[in-house]
Structure 1
């Protein structure tokens, strides 16, 4: 029920449901992968349940 209310509130400008994109999770995942040579086990987005909800930022 809580998630349904949050998703419904998006029409009114509520953005907390997009928190990973807003805080730049994908950027920090990329940095972690670059530093670890692609072997990072602590990235947030890869194979996460939220992965399908996020798109790369527009150029």
Structure 2
């Protein structure tokens, strides 16, 4: 499973970072970024929760 963050849609709420810190972090600009595009084994459920909880729908699974 791979994930991406649409930089144009992200507003820096940080929910994804709280739900799946292994994959997401807030960058220096205050917006979410993907630490590793390939979700580590065992983190898929948390990554999908981050996708579902993103208020801007800025995260997608590829």
Q: What is the TM-score when the length of structure 1 is the normalising length?
A: 0.27
- Please state which structure has a larger fraction of its residues in helix: 1
Larger radius of gyration: 1
Q: What is the TM-score when the length of structure 2 is the normalising length?
A: 0.26
